[in-house]
Amino acid sequence: RTVLAFLACAAVSSAWAADDPHLIPKPREVSAGDLVPIAKTVAVTGAASDEDRFTAKDLSDVLKERGLRVAAKGAFKIALLRLDSPTARRVLDDNKIAFTDEMKAEGYVLLATKDGAVIVAATSAGLFYGAQTFKQLIRTDGPTPRVQLAVIRDWPAMKYRGFHDDLSRGPVPTLEFQKKEIRTFAAYKLNVYSPYYEHTLNYNSNPLISPPGGGMSHEDVRALVAYAKRYHIDVIPEQEAFGHLHHVLKYDLFAPLAETDHGHVLAPNDPASLPLIKSWFAEIDSLFPSKFVHLGADETFELGMGRTKDRVSQTGLGQVYIDFLKQIEGALRYTGKRFLFWGDIAQGSPDLVKSLPKDMLAVGWGYGPNPKAETLLRPFIDAGIETWVAPGVNGWSRVYPNNDVALKNIQAMARDGQRLGATGLLNTSWADDGEAILNQQWYGILFGAAASWQAGEASIDDFERSFGLQFHGDASGRIDAAQMKLSAAHALLSKAGLGDGNDYLYWIDPFSAEGQISAQKIRVVSRDFRVLAESAMVLVAQARQAARGGLRETDALEAMEMGARRMDFIGMKFELCDEISRFYTHAYDTVQAGGSPGHDLGEITSNINSRTADLRDGYVLGRELYEKSWLAQNKPYWLYNVLNRYDLAAQTWIQRSDKIAQARSAYGRTKKLASPEEVGIPHWAPVTP
């Protein structure tokens, strides 16, 4: 009866002040009240099964991290109750709360008062998700911990809510970081993690494929799967089984199976292709207990360009593609799995899609701000095939994710996927050029969690006001504002016709022919662009100062600051290169007219405070910060592919500085100055409006 007693005030929740708790995801039904002090000693009770005891421990651990003491007789009691218990039924009846059928799989009821809280659920998953929501009701941004009063009734809109992690194009996370990913995914109610493999799963049957130090071992896979299960996350592997296999086919042991020489696509008509696929998936079947496995099969662009050219000419590209996809499914059917595949190629042959096995699952992907989910899913819906939608966090090939595009993309895909009957959302992260840092991508990841749990169209505005508080513990709003500044910086580059803050702009030499084209475009926005990026850095620093070390997810904050600094460096590089060109051209023209270059050359190159030194320093500092962010989450594998670019870029400016210094020295002897073209600097011409 103690549990019921402290819930007496829950029934008067309608009289509470409306204070938005800024939860992620936003609950289906919530009546929130004031923030009130919470007793510093907390007791978590009622966990009756192993799974529920794990939920109690997980909750207790987080409360301890937030500065609370957990004890058996805490003054603030949190009861974890299964729906079928008499106490749970009394709580619901006394508070006139209905626990309906759609809530039973993963839903929960949460009541939080000044004296305690109760979480009621029908399943261990529901109880776990209720506990994750309660964590977000605890606030530690003031002098003492507080709890948000609330009555919540909640359940998910989509059955499968996942994140797809590219482990094959550079970054390969450590097992410890993957465990951190799992904990974070679960905290925001994701229930699927899908690691993506082209060649980075260690296959005993094909030991050549996985690079040394760059793959997941069987031991790590088993450890990850077991760890994820406790957090109610299903690990669904994706092994590309058709295209995206260049890192396999580049070896001459496997090259004969390729559609084109050392290409990307397996030749469907080669008799050894299916046995190779079967060998991979036999090991996958032994490692991953999920009922799902992802075959990939996207972007098979080379199909019909080589060994299947005649067959494609005779029967059509769609027929050859669909036939081989069915052969793969048939060869692996003995595993009893359900097979996911990317829908981009098959959607072009809607009549042929109807011949696919009905228990396959099509994943429609699209990454722009206005994806057309109807186009992506309709061929499969009409064929009676289950569908998921796959938006993206838009962090690939960018110095920092373009979150404005990402959030609009995720919002539309979740909304339209639900409308069209998609049962899942698989939010994607790619590392196309090998430089992506996942710790920069939590903004898009968490919005994917929100959009797939919430019914209908998830509010971007609500999320933008909630992320900093819930993920970092920042109640000041500064981290949210910093994210908005970086999104605005991306938008400025897009407006100037430069796409956005992509890695290409970071690495390109402004004095090259292509760099000069970019320079002409960026001049219009560079100052405003830099102010936005620098303001983001200032806001993060101010948030840290205000929190006095109390912010959470500091590795992600450092990765964000690193991204903002790289954004700023794009603008600085082009600005300083314009100044170098202007100074040198002025010096040269002055000498040609019989004068002295004065201080112009010293502005370009000197031992103290010169433009070339600034650019050298920018790449050197960028390297240091990037390496730190990389090693905070990834294995060393691949890292030097990126660091070598930093070294090369820094060397470019060292060499350029030396060349200009030599021209300056030669002028001192000869009173003649090499032309801008002779030292590799474009001749400056006044920019006309």
Sequential DSSP letters for 399-419: SS--HHHHHHHHHHHHHHHHH
Strand partners, 151: 31, 111
Token duo for residue 208: 């050549």
What is the rounded distance in angstroms from the CA atom of residue 79 to the CA atom of residue 657?
A: 68
- pLDDT: which is higher, 632 or 18: 632
pLDDT the model gives residue 39 = 93
SS3 90: helix
Which residues, 6 or more positions from 540, have their beta carbon under 8 angstroms from its beta carbon? Answer: 478, 479, 482, 557, 560, 561, 564
What is the rounded distance in angstroms from the CA atom of residue 256 to the CA atom of residue 421?
A: 42
pLDDT the model gives residue 8 = 41
pLDDT level of residue 685 (50, 70, 90 thresholds): confident
H or E segment and range at residue 353: helix 350-353
Q: What is the number of alpha carbons within 13 Å of residue 628 lying toward its C-beta?
A: 16
pLDDT the model gives residue 688 = 56
pLDDT the model gives residue 689 = 46
Average pLDDT on 607-614 reads 92
Q: What are phi and psi of 165, to 5 degrees?
A: -115, 115
Read off the pLDDT of residues 317-366 as tens digits, 9 standing for 90 and up: 999 999 999 999 999 999 999 999 999 999 999 999 999 999 999 999 99
> Which residue, 487, 625, 515, 631, is CA-closest to 566?
625
Angle made by CA atoms 369, 375, 380, in degrees to the nearest 5: 130
What is the rounded distance in angstroms from the CA atom of residue 577 to the CA atom of residue 571?
A: 10
Token duo for residue 11: 């029934």
Bridging pattern class, strands 424-429 and 386-390:
parallel
Identity of residue 593 = A
Q: Is the pLDDT at 7 greater than 90, yes or no?
A: no
User: How many distinct helices (H) and strands (E) make up the chain?
Assistant: 24, 17
Strand partners, 216: 201
Q: What is the DSSP letter of 398?
A: B
Q: What is the largest CA-CA distance in the chain?
A: 99
Read off the pLDDT of residues 507-520 as tens digits, 9 standing for 90 and up: 999 999 999 999 99
Identity of residue 171 = P
Angle made by CA atoms 665, 671, 676, in degrees to the nearest 5: 70
pLDDT the model gives residue 4 = 45
Is the separation of the CB atoms in 449 and 190 below 8 Å?
A: yes
Which residues, 6 or more positions from 466, have their beta carbon under 8 angstroms from its beta carbon? Answer: 22, 23, 24, 480
What is the rounded distance in angstroms from the CA atom of residue 254 to the CA atom of residue 239?
A: 16
Q: Is the pLDDT at 427 greater than 60, yes or no?
A: yes
pLDDT the model gives residue 548 = 87
Is the separation of the CB atoms in 572 and 618 below 8 Å?
A: yes
Q: Is the pLDDT at 101 greater than 70, yes or no?
A: yes
> Which residue, 235, 27, 223, is CA-closest to 112?
27
How many C-beta atoms lie closer than 10 Å to residue 96's C-beta? 7
pLDDT level of residue 10 (50, 70, 90 thresholds): very low
pLDDT level of residue 549 (50, 70, 90 thresholds): confident
What is the rounded distance in angstroms from the CA atom of residue 243 to the CA atom of residue 94?
A: 58
pLDDT the model gives residue 2 = 43
- pLDDT: which is higher, 440 or 14: 440
pLDDT the model gives residue 595 = 96
pLDDT level of residue 142 (50, 70, 90 thresholds): confident
- Length of the chain as a residue count: 689
CA distances (Å), 570 to each of 364, 484, 494, 524, 537, in order? Answer: 34, 18, 14, 14, 15
Token duo for residue 576: 């300083």
Q: What is the number of alpha carbons within 13 Å of residue 547 lying toward its C-beta?
A: 25
Average pLDDT on 42-63 reads 96
What is the rounded distance in angstroms from the CA atom of residue 610 to the CA atom of residue 571?
A: 17
> Which residue, 602, 617, 687, is CA-closest to 653?
617
H or E segment and range at residue 125: helix 124-137
Lowest mean pLDDT among 16-30, 97-111, 510-524, 669-683: 16-30
pLDDT the model gives residue 392 = 98
Q: What is the number of alpha carbons within 13 Å of residue 594 lying toward its C-beta?
A: 0
pLDDT the model gives residue 45 = 96
Which residues, 6 or more positions from 583, have their beta carbon under 8 angstroms from its beta carbon? Answer: 600, 601, 603, 604, 611
Token duo for residue 586: 């002025």
Read off the pLDDT of residues 149-163 as tens digits, 9 standing for 90 and up: 999 999 999 999 999
Bridging pattern class, strands 138-139 and 160-166:
unpaired
Name the CA radius of gyration of the chain, rounded.
Answer: 29
Q: Is the pLDDT at 672 greater than 80, yes or no?
A: yes
Which residues, 6 or more positions from 252, have their beta carbon under 8 angstroms from its beta carbon? Answer: none
> Which residue, 92, 89, 80, 84, is CA-closest to 46?
80
What is the rounded distance in angstroms from the CA atom of residue 293 to the CA atom of residue 291?
A: 7
Q: What is the DSSP letter of 392?
A: B
pLDDT the model gives residue 347 = 95
Read off the pLDDT of residues 550-578 as tens digits, 9 standing for 90 and up: 999 999 999 999 999 999 999 999 999 99
Is the separation of the CB atoms in 287 and 204 below 8 Å?
A: no
Identity of residue 154 = D
> Which residue, 347, 491, 329, is CA-closest to 406?
491
Token duo for residue 30: 């919530």
Residue-averaged pLDDT of the chain: 95
DSSP symbols for 45-75: E---SHHHHHHHHHHHHHHHHTT-EE-TT-S
| 3-state SS record for 484-540 | HHHHHHHHHHHHCCCCCCEHHHHHCCCCCHHHHHHHHHHCCCHHHHHHHHHHHHHHH
Identity of residue 217 = S
> Which residue, 36, 37, 35, 45, is CA-closest to 70?
45
Cis peptide before 391 (omega within 30 of 0): no
Q: What is the number of alpha carbons within 13 Å of residue 488 lying toward its C-beta?
A: 16
SS3 141: coil
Q: What is the number of alpha carbons within 13 Å of residue 638 lying toward its C-beta?
A: 25
pLDDT the model gives residue 687 = 65
Read off the pLDDT of residues 483-502 as tens digits, 9 standing for 90 and up: 999 999 999 999 999 999 99
What is the rounded distance in angstroms from the CA atom of residue 79 to the CA atom of residue 45?
A: 5
End-to-end CA distance of the chain: 78
Identity of residue 63 = L
pLDDT the model gives residue 502 = 95
Identity of residue 209 = I
